[in-house]
Amino acid sequence: MERGVSSMPGKQRRRRCVVLVVVAVLLLIVIIAVAIGVSLQQTPEQEQFKDTFITRCERFKEANCPEIWKVFQQAYVNQDHCKVPAEAYDALVAAAPFTPPCNRMMFWSKTKDVVHDFTEKKDCFVTLEDTLLGEVLDGLTWCGKEGSDETFTSGCPGWSECVDNPVRSFWNRISAAYADVACGEVTAMLNGSIPTPFHPDSIFGSVELKRFNATRVKTLNVVLVTQDNKVTNCTNASLKDLQMELDKGIKYNCKEAPQSQINACSSDPAAPCGSCW
Ligand code: N1C
């Protein structure tokens, strides 16, 4: 009896010890699992980016997608994400050059949704996003980090955070390349619902328009997309600035087109190309 009573605290201590050890082991397991989870988390994110790139690229039958992915990465991987100039993508443009669809090339500024809704429904015009490089990277964000071979999709600098960021430089570079090959009649959809439909700082104003060459481009047709509460028309002062920037020798036209008319026309299979404005 006495021995039993006196041995109880010893047993309790041992039991407490066992419980403590079990708790410590469980804690350790949880910490290790969280650490593994965190370290693995980046991989699916990067894998997903590469998968999207390759899947979209493979829609272009003749493309060597693994090679294009390799050349693309070389532009920004292992670089400070604020020090990627547009020229970093020169090799990428060379690896996936543009074949110009003369008379069908469509440029735009501040009208992304209406343009793509139109080009998706009617096979009349070709935007940069219908080309391999434009389609593969449309809507994506990416950057690298000094000392790392990885592609990151979060923690990348915003559009205005630094000028030489990988996404901004990419659009500047490939927009320049697309405008360089522009030929024949070129169309640009601008936004008539804002006070200045032509902005010199936009990619269209600062890159594309400046590269249209009169030896290749015959006419620039501006389509000013308006809403019911029409804010601007073709006499808008910013459109005078646009004409001043245009290479002499390129003819200029401007037409106002209500968005409802463009939508109705694109949904009408009988409507021919060019009849929507
Ligand atoms: O600055 P923007 O328009 O004038 O650029 C549009 C102009 C188009 O003609 C395209 O050829 O430049 C080209 N372009 C794209 O194709 C493109 N796809 C997606 C430019 N930017 C593009 N993006 C994204 O839209 C890009 O990340 C940037 O943030 C916007 C620019 O749109 P904007 O200001 O309406």
- SS3 state at 132: helix
Q: Which atom of ligand 1 is nearest to the CA of 204?
A: 4
User: Given pLDDT bands bounded at 50, 70 and 90, which one contains residue 28?
Assistant: confident
Q: Tell me the pLDDT of the chain averaged across its residues.
A: 91
Tell me which residue of 23, 45, 198 sits closest to 111, measured CA to CA: 198
> CA-to-CA distance for 115 and 189, rounded, in angstroms?
7
Bridge partners (DSSP) listed for residue 138: none
How many angstroms does the Cα of residue 110 sit away from the middle of ligand 1?
A: 8
Nearest CA to ligand 1 atom 13: 175
Distance between first and last Cα of the chain: 104
The token duo for 203 is: 């990619």
Say what the pTM is.
Answer: 0.84
Measure 264 CA to ligand 1 centroid, in angstroms.
25
Are 207 and 171 within 8 A, CB to CB? Answer: no
Mutate to test the pocket of ligand 1, among 105, 132, 171, 199 (most ligand atoms within 8 A of CB): 171
- In this prediction, residue 9 carries a pLDDT of 64
Q: Are 79 and 58 a contacting pair, CB within 8 Å?
A: no
N residues, the chain: 277
Q: How far is the CA of 111 from the centre of ligand 1 (A)?
A: 9
Q: Ligand 1: which of 112, 193, 199, 203 to mutate, most ligand atoms within 8 Å of CB?
A: 203
pLDDT band at residue 6 using 50, 70 and 90 as cut-offs: very low
- Quick: pLDDT tens for 43-55: 677 899 999 999 9
The lowest-confidence range among 3-12, 26-35, 79-88 is 3-12
CATH of domain 45-276: 1.20.82.10
Nearest 5°: the CA angle 156, 157, 160 is 155
User: Which residues are bridge partners to 107 per DSSP?
Assistant: 188
Asked whether the predicted pLDDT for residue 33 surpasses 80, the reply is no
Quick check: 173 pLDDT over 70?
Answer: yes
Confidence of residue 39 (pLDDT cuts 50, 70, 90): low
pLDDT over 80 (residue 156) = yes
Q: Distance from the CA of 109 to the center of ligand 1, in angstroms?
A: 6
**Per-residue pLDDT, 34:** 59
Backbone phi and psi for residue 189, each to the nearest 5 degrees, phi listed first = -95, 120
Residues with CB under 6 A from ligand 1: 107-110, 112, 128-129, 134, 138, 159, 167, 171, 175, 178, 202-204, 208
pLDDT in tens, 117-136: 999 999 999 999 999 999 99
The model's pLDDT over 177-211, given as tens digits with 9 standing for 90+, comes to 999 999 999 999 999 999 999 999 999 999 999 99
3-state DSSP call for residue 155?
coil
Residue 147 has pLDDT above 80, yes or no: yes
